[in-house]
Structure 1
Amino acid sequence: MSTHDAIDVIRAKRDGVELSGDQIRWVIGAYTAGQVPDEQMSALLMSVFFRGMTPAELAAWTQAMIDSGVRKDLSGLGRPTADKHSTGGVGDKTTLPLAPLVAACGVAVPQLSGRGLGHTGGTLDKLEAIPGWRAALTEDEYLAQLRDVGAVVCAAGNDLAPADKLLYALRDVTGTVESIPLIASSIMSKKIAEGADALVLDVKTGSGAFMKDVESSRELARTMVGLGEAAGVRTVALVTAMDRPLGRSAGNAVEVAESLEVLAGGGPADLVELTLALAREMLAGAGRPDVDPAAALADGRAMDSWKAMIRAQGGDPDAPLPQPTERHVVTAPATGTLTRLDAYALGVAAWRLGAGRARKEDPVSAAAGVVWHASVGEQVTAGQPLLELQTDDASRIERALAALDGAVGVDTEDTVLPLVVDRITS
């Protein structure tokens, strides 16, 4: 017989009473085991949404979610490990060049990634644009690839923080997603369970991000860094701009193509800058602060690492990427400096073209997306091609164009965030 009761826990949180670690461990464990029903957990989540959590409550909540599954032990790899998590944005393809780049510098990268939902893209969807590549690996395949290649990007198994999977689905249908403690514990329970020595968080801020303003992005970053450090993982966060999209493309195959440009030593300046900034943080966290990742891009080691990573998961790194059957060009509305390219609008446009999904089970189009020919701060001429909409279904173009209404500004008074807004440590 349990000494706890779900109603007592709900009432305490509802009334602003701090929950004990014992109460939190019990309720997470009982819910995961099916002993606390959805309606009671929903009430507790809503109480957390309004009351928040103290640092002690949040640490206990996160640890209980980790303890609902396994925490991987990567100590046998014979090299340090580092991981990266982005809170999601538009054109945010940094994982693709970053994982092989850091691996080429001697640090193993165990990157368990997800799929896109809504206007933000998913890393697995992007990689599945590569012919033959597969996201699902067995535990033995996963560890062998980390040992042999040094980098793996794959789908998380059901053994990592299973409580989070249940709670995430419940938050989605009960209006309790936008809670900093619940977001932080959801992300960090999975990331800590992955077992890396060091973790770098890329917390996006701006219209295309989950957190629209810098202060709430900083608060989320501080909360997550605190949880990582409390669990013994060296953790640092960069708060980075998502008021405009990253790089020059949003979609699946188009983002793979752009990542290949970076690995070949080229690519858009902002994407290269952010990839290198994150790589330096990962290397420093893993005890390799003196290694220069820019050299591994320049001398081809990062590209070799990428090809090995793709081949190890059944993909053909040299195969042509899917191409769209329909293209529609949007021209610049005026001559001057491009001062606004709204990330959220471009993300919605790519989604409507078929690059994203509205529900987890929806398929995505590998070839759909948006490519832009100028970035914020660059000069454009009226009538020049500015955006190219790509899709396999011409009937989707009209709705994508509607999403772009007001998304482009030339010589407007928009204030633009620096690429790296802040760096947060414990």
Structure 2
Amino acid sequence: MSFKDLKLNRPILRAIAEKGYDNPTLVQEKTIPLALNRKDIIVSAQTGTGKTAAFALPIIQQLYDKQTASKKGKKIKALVVSPTRELALQIAENFEAYATYTELTSTVIFGGASIEPQKEALKQGVDILIATPGRLLDLHKQDDINLDYVETLVLDEADLMLDMGFIDDVKKIERLCPKTKQTLLFSATIPYKVEQLANTILTSPQRIEVAQNSSTSKNVNQLLYYVPKKDKIELCLHLLRTTIKGNIIIFRRTKYGVDKLEKTLLKNNYQVDSIHGDKSQTARQEALKRFKKKEVNILIATDVAARGIDIDNLDAVVNFDLPNIPETYVHRIGRTARAGQSGMAYSLCSADEKSYVIDIQKLINLQLDVIEDHPYPLDPKAKPIVHKSKKTGSKHKKGRKSEASKKKKKRWY
């Protein structure tokens, strides 16, 4: 199937062709016709499957067909709500590219950046608004946003939005839009709370599921290294020196872990940057820009900061800390080996993470290749290290006094 078969108009087809896309992905093929029919839709699909175009193209087409107002009189007709700033910016870039040959305008608003330029952009009048929940509600409260004319509402990465605690905000935003709107909900996974949300805000939705959550690309070579926790940084350095090459994302579970590893790699003269939730928006955008421009070849990230970010030509993903949610592993390694290319995934597993490996293998239905030939092997019988005090028994038992204290005969009594 080609994009022409999806009944998209000329200006959109021209923009898609310029982006170098010939045929729609499966999620686009299934979603676009339903979206053009103004159906409510729930889409379950992984990052990297082409979700953004699946909602952006029908929105642009529908607005293009009836664009009338001059720029000044424009009202927000489509609203896309996204959990993270990076994702919102990325969606905005896509809308801009696809709408190049139309008169449609879009803008993006998010927290962690100055509010005034965003107010200014809204004042100019826009057709399509991409926003993170917090800033959207702030600006609505200040009367800078009117959602009375929204025809299509998109909730992107709904599972992440709920994980980040945005459920009440999302419900509030939905209520601020007209009852007659079309709602499109996209989520990598559909856990119970996403299901619940969908039931309350969608009207007899069509369901689209693209690939099981467990599917990992056949083109990713997945290697596993068992290593004592204390030696992980050493093993990581060893692999970067000898094995892992090219553009790399390293995932860590915590912001502190990201910072610590970044300092070590910088000390060892690696070109490295990082993104996590405590960094300012400017710093995060800067880090991404440097990575995409290949000014640095290693990006260290937490899962939330990296969720949904599109990075082409990624050679390897390193799971420095294994995720305790197996689906997260699938998300992470799905960033490499896109569009038919091959890629590598390296996972470092300490004794306390062994159960995570079992869950991951169950989900992806695949045994990971264990590499035993490395300088920091983990004793196969190793138990997780639990730090206990060397002293045994209560300090209040008889005979606790040291020899020295026994010699001091002075007593308060």
Tell me, yes or no, whether TM beats 0.5: no
Relative to the length of structure 1, the TM-score reads 0.30
Relative to the length of structure 2, the TM-score reads 0.31
Greater radius of gyration (CA) = 2
